[in-house]
Amino acid sequence: MKRTGRKQEWSIALFCAGLIFLFPPILSIYNVSDVIFGLPVAYVVLYGIWGLLIVAIALGVRRKIRFDRSGHTGLSMKKPQDDF
């Protein structure tokens, strides 16, 4: 699937954000002996960033459904007919 416009920009931005925030020198900042809910801070930050990236990807790939005045979505359930 070819992405165009904002979806392409969103994909590139999320990829760059993932590289930056999951880069080992950045994650080493959180490598301290403190705990949050009984878990090391580094794990909470790592899985928190990972989860946020997944949510952002899900928001970026969703489709917008447009309704016309009659209430139809414009999406058809008909199968294309063969021209043979």
Residue 1: predicted pLDDT? 55
In-domain check, residue 83:
no
Residue 60: predicted pLDDT? 81
In-domain check, residue 79:
no
In-domain check, residue 69:
no
Q: Which amino acid is at 76?
A: S
Mean pLDDT of 50-78: 73
Residue 74: predicted pLDDT? 57
* pTM > 0.85: yes or no: no
Percent helix, strand, coil in the chain, to 5, is 50, 5, 45
Span 23-57, pLDDT tens digits = 988 888 988 889 998 999 999 999 999 999 999 88
Could you tell me the residue range of the domain that residue 13 belongs to?
Answer: 6-61
Is residue 62 scored above 70 in pLDDT? yes
In-domain check, residue 76:
no
In-domain check, residue 75:
no
In-domain check, residue 25:
yes
Residue 77: predicted pLDDT? 53
In-domain check, residue 68:
no
pLDDT above 90 as % of the chain: 26
Instruction: Classify the phi-psi angles of 56: left when phi > 0, otherwise alpha if psi is within -120 to 50, otherwise beta.
Output: alpha
Helices 6-21 & 41-61 angle (0-180, nearest 10): 170
Count of domains forming the chain: 1
Token readout for 45 is: 């930050």
